[in-house]
């Protein structure tokens, strides 16, 4: 079942079960996907089928990051009830994301990509990051993986 279909099925279930907060979050997800669909219509890669599952995963990942940042800011401002609302939204969005890799798995994935691509210097960073993104979209935080790749390649060749 495609990711978009799973989201729609969850939305219907939330409507049926009268889960308003869950329904609200699922509607936000659907709106973000539709926005991307509309944005792609005018481009070459935009087709009648809409965005791919990989792009939906990217959208969901961004939504989680936004909510994590909002929750942090709410906590700093003493608005704990709003921070808790953000965390509930993160839980709902997280249901559609693949399991996140732990620290050791991220390191192993970086080592594997560097070895497979025979990357030997910092100039290969783009290729390594591209490989990681193609294999681990939605499973890895690339903003933290980038510095790790850079450090690994710097140690290796300079």
Residue 84 to residue 143: CA distance in whole angstroms: 25
Crossing angle of the two packed helices 125-136 and 103-117, in degrees rounded to 10: 120
Which CATH number belongs to the domain containing residue 119 in this structure?
1.10.10.410
Domain boundary among 94, 123, 147: 94
Of the candidates 115, 109, 118, the one whose C-alpha atom is nearest the C-alpha of residue 142 is 109
CB-count exposure of residue 143 (10 Å: 0-12, 13-18, 19+) = exposed
Say yes or no: 37 and 68 in one domain.
Answer: yes
Say yes or no: 114 and 87 in one domain.
Answer: no
Strand, coil or helix: what is 142? Answer: helix
The answer to whether residue 76 scores a pLDDT higher than 60 is yes
Which CATH number belongs to the domain containing residue 28 in this structure?
1.10.1510.10
Domain boundary among 59, 74, 94: 94
The whole-chain average pLDDT of the chain stands at 89
Between 98 and 109, the higher pLDDT residue: 109
Contact status, residue 93 vs residue 67, Cβ threshold 8 Å: yes
The answer to whether residue 45 scores a pLDDT higher than 60 is no
């Amino acid at each position: 079942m495609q990711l978009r279909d799973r989201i729609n099925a969850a939305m219907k279930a939330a409507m049926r079960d009268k889960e308003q907060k869950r329904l609200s979050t699922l509607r936000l997800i659907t709106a973000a996907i539709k926005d991307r669909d509309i944005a792609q219509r005018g481009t070459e890669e935009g087709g009648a089928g809409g965005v791919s599952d990989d792009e939906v995963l990217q959208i969901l990942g961004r939504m989680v990051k936004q909510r994590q940042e909002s929750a942090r800011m709410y906590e700093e401002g003493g608005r704990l009830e709003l921070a808790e609302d953000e965390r509930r939204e993160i839980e709902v969005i997280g249901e559609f994301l693949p399991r996140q890799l732990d620290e050791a798995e991220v390191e192993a994935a970086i080592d594997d990509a560097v070895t497979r691509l025979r990357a030997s210097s910092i100039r290969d960073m783009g290729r390594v990051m591209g490989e990681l993104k193609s294999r681990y979209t939605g499973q890895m935080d690339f903003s933290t993986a980038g510095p790790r790749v850079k450090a690994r390649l710097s140690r290796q060749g300079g």
